[in-house]
Structure 1
Amino acid sequence: MSVEPAVMSARIKPVPSAKRLITVSGIGLLFDSMDVNLVAYILVAVAAQWHLSPATQGYLSSMGFIGMAVGAALAGLLADRFGRKAVFMWTLLIYSVATGLTAFAWGVGIFYFLRFLVGFGLGGELPVATTYVLESSADDRRGRHVVLLEMFYAFGSLCAALISNLVIPSVGWRVVFLIGAIPALYVLILRRQLPESPRFMSLAERRSMRDAFTTLWAPGVTRSTVVTWVLWFAMNFAFYGMVLWLPSILFLKGYSLVHSLSYTLIMTLAQVPGYLTAAWLVEKWGRKRTLLPAMLCSALAALGFGFAHSTLWLFVFGILVNYFMLGAWAGTYIFTVEQFPTRARASGIGWASGFGRIGAIIAPSLVGLMIGAKIGFGAVFTMFFAMIAIGFLVVWAFGRETLGERLR
């Protein structure tokens, strides 16, 4: 009689409780979000100190997303080959150290390089953490767990806003990056707290990285690959094009630096209820049925923000953009990660995320060029409306609902 099942069973450690699973994994995402959102606030101060043009600001924002694109695709393949936990920790460590070093950047060139490294680690960590939580959760709660995990991203946005409001005006932007390096210490906690994903450990064989990528284009999977790639491109283009420029846009509209940061903080508060709403709806309505209305409302709110001419309406539409966009992001993660079989799940969401980062690379630079060319904010946000609408139509027409399905 074969002893393989017994050996395999011995290798699988008990799954942590839902609270510990989400909290320990989520704090990693919190630090990730804090880092990427800090750049939106820091660019305002860096541009003033180094006399950067709007186009250069856009390029600096885009450099981090180039790293994220590479990191997401590579980390997904590595996680399907060597495990979720190890890749989760290494990507977290890479971006944390690079963030701390950015505090000592002496010019634009080294800033570009370090932002690439930060993006590489950040891009790799996000899809791997999502895969880990999904595979470690019960079928009837996995959707809610993934969305609650992603909610930590909103907490990270709030931390970034608070740190920027308290630190940048008083002691400058460099100290902010030193604070962002704290997650490096958190890797030690992750090593002790998290067992490997039970689904990954139960695989009969480890597929090569090439096989994992090939699976994404196998019969029955190709449509999911194409739909998720388009979805992630649209979401990244719109979200990062808006969020990374939001403080600068308010500044360009005539608000002071302090007011621009404070107003953005207030708008960012709407991200948390956006996630909480999605966490409830994904198990009631479904993944696709939650994602589509959130995308449609995000597109309309973006259009409203672009044509708002008073502080009141900027607030209203800024809050709505943050609320619905984060609800849409929550739906995007759970919709994507359930589209792929276990043997290529991290690769599936990793490559969708990586391809989507191309949108995040293009959007900040394009917005900088448009602002530099004196193109109005109405036209800029109409562009975001159109991009979200494209993603909406593709998911609506070709996306597959996965509520109630067993993981493959």
Structure 2
Amino acid sequence: MTTDTPHATAGRPADTAALTAAIGARFERLPLCRWHVTVRLIIGAVTFFEAFDQLLIAYALPELRAEWQLSTGQTTSLITVGSLGMLVGALLSGRLADRVGRVKVIAACIALSSVFNLLLTLCTSPGPFMALRFVQGLAIGGEVPVAATFIAEITRAHRRGRFVLLYELVFPAGLTACALLAWWLMPLLGWRWMFGLAAVPGVLCLLVARYVPESPRWLADHGRHEAALTTMASIEAKVEKITGEPLPRPASAPAAPSTPAAEPVPSAPLGAPAASVPSASRQTTRQSEAARQSAGRGGLRELLSGRYRRRTLVVSVLWFTGYFVNYGISTWLPTIYGARFHLDLSDALLYSTVTSCAGFVGCLAVALTVDRVGRRHTLAWSLGAAALCLLLLGLFAGGSAGGVLIWTSLAAVFFFGANICLYLYTPELFPTRVRALGTSVGGAMNRLGVILGPIVVGAVYADGALGTVFVTLAAVALVGSLTAGVAAEETSGRQLEDVAP
């Protein structure tokens, strides 16, 4: 096994930048193997059950509404309070993960979510339920963006989109599993048993703590150089043992310039393969700029300044519009089918499940094509197609349960696909020192959309204007499509340190 990694002295930005670049180069030479798959499965299982927890409220809602005789306003509050907790949790977890590490935050989130699932089964009125749901939302909202950040940091540039999004499929899979189990078990067991079953996966926190290593990129960036080198060497040893072959030498990673005023070397054009710029030039440019930026920079200030300001604004709009549409539809569908079209609970849940399954198909399609199509085109065309489907539904097909089923399912193929792409795209846009925070800002805007989407749909639906609901959602999806098409940057095929020094 070859390393050729500088043993930088902690506390010097140039040395940290050199080590971070070298760690990135060492990840680039790792072949995809069972080690990657194992880590992805463990983290994926955590994300799967967080998705399950997130959507469970939508399928428990008809029972809760009847049991506690909830008004429309109380129903909306019951939906949105968890999303408010997820918004706060996303922001807090991103900052925390950038300070204390990715793996610790992921393990803590799944443990906290599990405990509060148990507590929710004891509730007998909406007040305590909403309080507990808010705290649980902190964990659900915190885990997902940090997990996406971690998976991006252990993945090489080649076919990163396919690898990351096949992992991210566990989230819509969790949503789909929730829909299927709720349709089957909710009428038989009731909502309390569903929340009780959702507490069982809390044991996964032990697997995460035992078998998932901390991100070497994060360790290097935080001055823990020896830990970064040890962890990276351990990963390489496991990969060599699995593949049975020695690893190739990593790309050259020369020491960073001692002065921050070093003249940068021009980088590759946007979207060009990393190989289009000589390796040494890329590394020198990357380390020089990282040394300048890491000295006294970081946090929200960095995300809202310089090159990252536009990226933060673009992904914020995309997260908000995508999830406004997603949860504006999915949260209210069981209630709409029951109250508007007079379907019984089992049929209402079945119809909603079909839409979730269609969304999963869209996610799979994006996972298999995103490296070829590119992030920007995937987002722009997917949200645009979702807007068209919802517009046609609102204008022509909203008068029957079958029409709503067909067109919301078609739209779900596209907006689910766009939304899963954001979990790949957002971590690619920010440097290691603020990657989790940048992803969590996107996650917070996601939660803002999750909160406002059901509120707006509830307000419009309360007036009986079902067609207007879908036209409104179409307009929001169109805003996201135009934002991606005009302002999003392409990141396909580029190493993380090249995209965000």
Give the structure-1-normalised TM-score. Answer: 0.93
Change (3 A) 1:131 1:209: farther
The answer for the alignment partner of 1:45 in structure 2 is: 63
In 1, distance between residues paired with 2:116 and 2:103?
21
Work out whether 1:377 is the aligned partner of 2:466: yes
Work out whether 1:194 is the aligned partner of 2:212: yes
Contact kept, 8 Å, 1:65 with 1:116, in 2: the verdict is yes
Work out whether 1:297 is the aligned partner of 2:385: yes
Give the structure-2-normalised TM-score. Answer: 0.76
Work out whether 1:162 is the aligned partner of 2:170: no
Contact kept, 8 Å, 2:159 with 2:493, in 1: the verdict is no
Deviates more, 1:256-265 or 1:159-168: 159-168
Work out whether 1:260 is the aligned partner of 2:348: yes
In 1, distance between residues paired with 2:308 and 2:366?
26
Change (3 A) 1:356 1:157: closer
- Determine helix, strand or coil for the equivalent of 1:301: helix
In 2, distance between residues paired with 1:209 and 1:106?
50
The answer for the alignment partner of 2:243 in structure 1 is: none
In 1, distance between residues paired with 2:392 and 2:105?
41
Supply the AA of the counterpart residue of 2:97.
Answer: A
In 1, distance between residues paired with 2:62 and 2:295?
44
In 2, distance between residues paired with 1:223 and 1:381?
30
In 2, distance between residues paired with 1:324 and 1:365?
22
Contact kept, 8 Å, 1:81 with 1:209, in 2: the verdict is no
The answer for the alignment partner of 1:95 in structure 2 is: 113
In 1, distance between residues paired with 2:66 and 2:482?
40
In 2, distance between residues paired with 1:369 and 1:379?
11
Q: Please, which of 120, 127, 133 is the counterpart of residue 151 of structure 2?
A: 133
Change (3 A) 1:205 1:305: farther
User: Percent identity at matched positions?
Assistant: 33
Deviates more, 1:70-79 or 1:300-309: 300-309
**1:141-182: CA deviations, max 9, x gaps?**
321122112211121112211221222111211111101111
Contact kept, 8 Å, 2:89 with 2:140, in 1: the verdict is yes
Mapping of 1:154-233 within 5 angstroms?
154-203=172-221, 205=223, 211-233=298-320
Q: Please, which of 321, 325, 331 is the counterpart of residue 234 of structure 1?
A: 321
Change (3 A) 1:195 1:312: same
In 1, distance between residues paired with 2:296 and 2:9?
27
Mapping of 1:261-340 within 5 angstroms?
261-306=349-394, 307-340=397-430
Contact kept, 8 Å, 1:40 with 1:245, in 2: the verdict is yes
Cα offset, 1:208, TM superposition: 11
- Determine helix, strand or coil for the equivalent of 1:270: helix
Supply the AA of the counterpart residue of 2:107.
Answer: M
In 1, distance between residues paired with 2:466 and 2:489?
35
- Determine helix, strand or coil for the equivalent of 2:155: coil
Q: Please, which of 7, 15, 35 is the counterpart of residue 4 of structure 1?
A: 7
In 1, distance between residues paired with 2:449 and 2:357?
25
The count of residues paired between Structure 1 and Structure 2 equals 404
**1:80-126: CA deviations, max 9, x gaps?**
11111001111121122112211111111111111111211010001
**What's the RMSD between the two structures over aligned residues?**
2.4
In 2, distance between residues paired with 1:304 and 1:38?
29
Q: Please, which of 464, 485, 497 is the counterpart of residue 396 of structure 1?
A: 485
Change (3 A) 1:261 1:210: farther
**1:181-228: CA deviations, max 9, x gaps?**
112111111112211112112225387998322221231111001111
Work out whether 1:243 is the aligned partner of 2:333: no
In 1, distance between residues paired with 2:314 and 2:300?
16
Cα offset, 1:356, TM superposition: 3.0
Supply the AA of the counterpart residue of 1:215.
Answer: E
In 2, distance between residues paired with 1:343 and 1:192?
25
In 1, distance between residues paired with 2:316 and 2:342?
37
Radius of gyration: which is bigger?
A: 2
Contact kept, 8 Å, 2:380 with 2:483, in 1: the verdict is no
Cα offset, 1:70, TM superposition: 0.5
Change (3 A) 1:109 1:204: closer
Contact kept, 8 Å, 2:160 with 2:493, in 1: the verdict is no
Work out whether 1:32 is the aligned partner of 2:122: no
Cα offset, 1:233, TM superposition: 1.2
Change (3 A) 1:89 1:204: closer
**1:43-86: CA deviations, max 9, x gaps?**
11100111112221111111011101110011011111111100
**1:364-405: CA deviations, max 9, x gaps?**
123223323x23111111111111111221222111111122
